[in-house]
């Protein structure tokens, strides 16, 4: 049996892509799969056919570097046939191990790491140099890698001239998730269904799932709630505010008198999140301009919305998301830096339940037909078969 080691320096043990999609699905195909990953405490456990081995997380980027020896020697002791690296630093560790063993290396590229690192960790003046340096590192390491998996087809441009070693396994939704949302939606009582379909004059609920910050539209949401909308169109933000604590953001909402139309909820267990989604009317992706990560990133929240049958209001600056929304005909493209324009589209959708419902149905159908992990996994499976 081929032993596959998922090597993570940052991704948690039950990560949606690394664990729930890739590791579990490969285990179901007969591979022996281990996920070595950081956690608050070191432990060993088995779940869904995958053995999980955690090591104690160290804080910050320096802490990740300090864990290099632990990752290297633990991975070497496990003697995997294939190492599936999930970050830039774990990729380096995997290639170091390849120098002293017969293991094959897979690099799973989830983000635009060069531009993301430059945007979040370096002064603006050093961004071009940082991006160029990291892309040079890519060009040095990629030919020594057996398979490169990109979670977004636009990431391919960071790996030119390697058509035989690179595959796309896009981070689409698992069809079972959509089926579960269908069941939960069907289980809603008649009053909830009538409210969602806009027949009672009940609030038109808008939801955002995931990380939130100014570059993801927090200021626009605040401006909409304060200056253009009221309690009949409330926003719910589920996740983490990255530029301040959730508590501080809630305090600011209360100070501005917006707590009747804007709430912030910490991360929810999956079933509770599903309930929030299926009782909402509109999902939003409000990425702002000036960032390659925002322009070409593919947030999983989009597919959560589509699975729940929600129409999507998406920023024109989120180019890849806009491509999918346009193809699926499941939402509206707006200027997410113009709160007045955003508010107009929200009011228009709230006033047109039939259109809102049709856009949501279009999204769910598109997910079931094309934008799903079930079809993407076949590409990953074929890539692994070539390695074995």
Burial of residue 306, with CB atoms counted within 10 A of its CB: 0-12 exposed, 13-18 middle, 19 or more buried: buried
Q: What is the pLDDT of residues 297-354, one digit of tens each?
A: 999 899 999 999 999 999 999 999 999 999 999 999 999 999 999 999 999 999 999 9
Question: How far is it, in rounded angstroms, from Cα 176 to Cα 303?
Answer: 12
Both tokens assigned to 77:
């002791």
Report the distance separating Cα 190 and Cα 50, nearest Å: 41
H-run or E-run covering 182: helix 175-187
Domains of the chain in start order, with CATH, are 3-172+373-387 (3.40.50.2000), 175-369 (3.40.50.2000)
* Structure tokens, 278: 């299926």
Segment 276-312, tens digit of pLDDT: 999 999 999 999 998 888 999 999 899 999 999 999 9
- Find the mean pLDDT for residues 139-153: 95
Across the chain, mean pLDDT equals 91
Query: CA distances (Å), 205 to each of 35, 39, 237, 310, in order?
Result: 38, 35, 11, 11
User: What are the pLDDT digits (tens) for 5-62?
Assistant: 999 999 999 998 999 999 999 999 999 999 999 999 999 999 999 999 999 988 877 8
H or E element that contains 264: strand 262-265
What's the confidence (pLDDT) of residue 257? 95
Residue 73: the pLDDT is: 95
Number of neighbouring beta carbons within 10 Å of residue 265: 16
Residue 194 has pLDDT above 60, yes or no: no
Spatial distance between the Cα atoms of 44 and 53, rounded to a whole number of angstroms: 5
Q: What is the dihedral of CA 112, 113, 116, 117, to 10 degrees?
A: -170
């Amino acid at each position: 049996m081929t032993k596959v080691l998922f090597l993570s320096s940052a991704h948690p043990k039950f990560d949606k892509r690394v664990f729930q999609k890739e590791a579990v699905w490969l285990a179901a195909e007969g591979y022996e799969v281990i996920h070595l990953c950081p956690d608050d405490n070191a432990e060993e456990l088995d779940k869904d056919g995958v053995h999980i081995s955690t090591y104690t997380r160290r804080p910050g980027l320096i802490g990740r570097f300090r864990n290099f020896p632990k990752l290297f020697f633990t991975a070497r002791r496990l003697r995997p046939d294939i190492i599936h690296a999930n970050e830039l630093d774990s990729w380096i560790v995997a290639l170091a191990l390849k120098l002293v063993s017969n293991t094959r290396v897979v690099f799973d590229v989830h983000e635009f790491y060069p531009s993301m690192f430059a945007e979040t960790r370096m002064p603006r003046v050093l961004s071009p140099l940082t991006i160029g340096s990291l892309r040079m590192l890519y060009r040095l390491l990629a030919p020594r890698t057996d398979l490169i998996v990109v979670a977004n087809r636009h990431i391919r441009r960071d790996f030119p001239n390697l058509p035989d070693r690179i595959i796309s396994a896009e981070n689409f939704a698992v069809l079972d998730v959509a089926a579960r949302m269908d069941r939960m939606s069907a289980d809603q009582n008649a009053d909830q269904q009538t409210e969602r379909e806009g027949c009672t004059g009940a609030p038109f609920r808008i939801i955002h799932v995931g990380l939130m910050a100014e570059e993801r539209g927090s200021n626009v949401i605040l401006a909409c709630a304060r200056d253009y909308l009221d309690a009949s169109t409330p926003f719910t933000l589920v996740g983490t505010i990255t530029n301040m604590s959730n508590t501080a953001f809630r305090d600011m909402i209360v100070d501005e008198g917006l707590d009747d139309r804007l709430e912030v909820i910490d991360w929810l267990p999956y079933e509770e999140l599903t309930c929030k989604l299926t009782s909402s009317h509109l999902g939003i992706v409000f990425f702002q301009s000036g960032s390659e990560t925002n322009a070409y990133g593919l947030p999983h929240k989009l597919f959560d919305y589509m699975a729940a049958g929600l129409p999507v209001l998406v920023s024109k600056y989120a180019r890849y998301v806009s491509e999918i929304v346009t193809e699926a005909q499941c939402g509206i493209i707006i200027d997410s830096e113009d709160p007045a324009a955003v508010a107009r589209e929200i009011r228009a959708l709230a006033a047109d339940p039939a259109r809102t419902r049709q856009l949501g149905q279009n999204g769910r159908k598109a997910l079931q037909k094309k934008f799903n992990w079930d079809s993407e996994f076949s590409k990953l499976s074929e890539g692994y078969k070539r390695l074995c």
